[in-house]
Structure 1
Amino acid sequence: MIRRLADLGHDRVLLAFSDDSAPNIAERLNGAEASAQAAGVALEPLRCGWSVESADHAFAAHLEGAPAPRAVFALTNLIALSGWSALVRRGLMPGRDLAFVGFDDADWMAHMHPPVAAVAQPVEEIARRAWARLMARIGGEGGGPVSERAPCILHERGTLVPP
């Protein structure tokens, strides 16, 4: 996602996340940081906590003390929802005034105006692989734990705009 924002001309991205103590969030942060370094993009990390209220407070505090961001990448859908609200309350419209991207492609994202660009995990593919693995184990296949990766999908929607 960071490379895509860089391709659009963004050189600074507000990276909003819940808490890097969660392995999936730490992995997303590491990936964003590596991509930012390779693309010459400066990241502004914003720790938002685990609730809508804490994320709302983090965005509000950040927006009070800093220039308006030109690009926001929220690493969870809850953070994206809080970020959207905080930006709109400040008079900033994602898709018009800044690029805005969420993660996990919650149902609400496609129904906003403009629709929110999102990185989506291939849930059906993950479920299919997990089911196949479970059936193989039930069928007697042995072996230790297995880790698989399925690439995410980018839904380029109305909030993925240049600076």
Structure 2
Amino acid sequence: MADVAQAAGVSVSTVSHVLNATRFVAEETRIRVEQAAVGLGYAMRLRREAPTGPTIGLALTGASNPYLAELILGVESEARRAGYAMLFCDTHDEADTERDAVALLQSRRVDGIVLAPTRGWERLTLPLLHRHNTPFVLVDRFAEVPCDQVGTDSEAAACRLVEHLIKIGHSRIGMLVGLPGLSTSVERVRGYQRAHRTLGLGLHPELMVDGDSSVPGGRRAALRLLRREPRPTALFAANNAMTIGALLALREENLAVGRDIALVAFDDLEWAEAMSPPLTAAAQPFHAIGARAVQLLTRRLDDPLASREIVRLPASLEHRHSCGCGVPLTGADSSSAWRARSRPARS
């Protein structure tokens, strides 16, 4: 191993990890070690052991987006039903980490991968998948890549939420916009814009503020909107993290949700009904999305030449009272309901 390490320009421990498959090693380094060993005339006896039985790999951000736990459960339960084990790697929503996670799953010889793509995945992860001819399905986020994909119809759900706000009397609706480059962010912006066009309300671009899909970003964006003159009478937070940021900003500005300002959100939260007032939100069918992703992947494994499928599942709209009214989301226009509850904007 010392000879191979010197020839490959790596440490002896790296050579050991390559030969014994005891730790992930970058593909370029692994190839260099194997070529050095062969070049020195050593017989390669690699222990690249696959997990017992067929296995599906799952790569998505779990730690930074705990609301995806239901999606993970959907993948795991459907994989088990189909006779597959599951290996999970957290990408932390970072392109470099995602690439390493997929490489690690490939090194464990999974049969296929369910992937929630990060920004930049086409540059780093997609070539890796193609190079090893690994069957994969995109989940939660869509991409302009010919492959199987499953997620929520974000545009339709966002449109319905904003339409409801317009119907109960709001004409200045601020939106906390998610990270650029993600299909979910793009679709929710389209839904916000479509609602305005459908109901003949003019758009105010200054009311759409980047919230970075994060708690701090949502707080900054909400404060920026709340300190405008005239202030928006409603906020639409386009993901769960920005919803928390918006709530922090509203508390900081001493504004009461549902009374001083309406609030609706994308992603239903476990504590949404515990809020006062409870949060009106679009709830994504994460368990069904995870299960459908596994179904698409096993179909691809059974028939590599099967036609590609893009599946968009509807979100359910949970109407509560943070929007400031008791009118069902599918109900008729009742702008008077909001006007009866709203108070004049503060200077």
Scaled by the length of structure 2, what TM-score is found?
Answer: 0.44
Alpha-carbon deviation of 1:64?
2.5
Q: 2: distance between equivalents of 1:55 and 1:7? A: 25
* 1:21-60 equivalent positions in 2, closer than 5 A: 21-41=181-201, 42-43=203-204, 44-60=207-223
Kept in 2, the 8 Å contact 1:56–1:86? The answer is yes
What SS class does the counterpart of residue 14 from structure 1 fall into? Answer: strand
Residue by residue over 1:74-115, the C-alpha shift from the partner in whole angstroms, topping out at 9 and shown as x without a partner, is: 101111111111012211111122211111112232221111
The SS at the match of 1:148 is strand
What is the distance in 2 between the residues matched to 1:53 and 1:125?
30
- 1:12 corresponding residue in structure 2: 172
1:104 is aligned, of 267, 280, 284, to 267
Matched letter for residue 20 of structure 1? P
**1:84 aligned to 2:84?**
no
Aligned to 2:94: none
CA contact (8 A) 1:20 1:29 kept: no
Pair 61,7 (structure 1): closer, same or farther in 2 beyond 3 Å: closer
Task: Report the CA distance shift for 1:20/1:39 in structure 2 as closer, same or farther (over 3 A).
Answer: farther
The alpha-carbon distance between structure 1 residues 48 and 155, as it changes in their structure 2 partners (threshold 3 A), is same
Describe the SS at the equivalent of 1:131. helix
In the other structure, the counterpart of 2:5 is none
TM-score of the superposed pair, with normalisation by structure 1? 0.88
Q: What count of residue pairs does the alignment treat as equivalent?
A: 163
- 1:123 has 2:291 as partner: no
* Matched position secondary structure for 1:94: coil
Secondary structure of 1:20's aligned partner = coil
* Aligned position for 2:298: 135
Does the Cα contact within 8 Å between 2:177 and 2:211 map onto a contact in 1?
yes
In 2, the alpha carbon distance for the partners of 1:9 and 1:64 equals 21
Question: How far is 1:148 from its partner?
Answer: 0.9
- Structure 2: any 5+ residue segments left out of the alignment? 1-160, 325-337, 340-347
What amino acid does structure 2 have at the position aligned with 1:27? E
Asked whether the 8 Å contact 1:16–1:47 carries over to 2, the reply is: yes
| 50-59 vs 115-124, greater mean Cα deviation | 50-59
CA RMSD between the two structures: 1.9
Would the aligned equivalents of 2:250 and 2:256 in 1 still touch at CA under 8 Å?
Answer: yes
CA contact (8 A) 2:176 2:242 kept: yes
CA distance in 1, matches of 2:288, 2:280: 21
Name which of structure 1's ranges 58-67 and 23-32 shifts more when overlaid on structure 2. 58-67
The answer on whether the counterparts of 1:104 and 1:118 sit within 8 Å (CA) in structure 2 is yes
CA-CA distance at 1:116 after TM superposition: 0.9
Distance 2:236 2:165 in 1: 9
Aligned to 2:256: 93
Amino acid at match of 1:21: G
Q: Secondary structure of the residue that 1:149 maps to in structure 2? A: strand
Q: Secondary structure at the match of 1:79?
A: helix
Q: Which has the higher contact order (CA 8 A, sep 6+)?
A: 1
- The CA distance in 2 between the partners of 1:54 and 1:129, in whole Å, is 32
The question of whether the paired residues in 2 share the 8 Å contact of 1:11 and 1:40 is answered with no
Match of 2:232 in 1: 69
Match of 2:309 in 1: 146
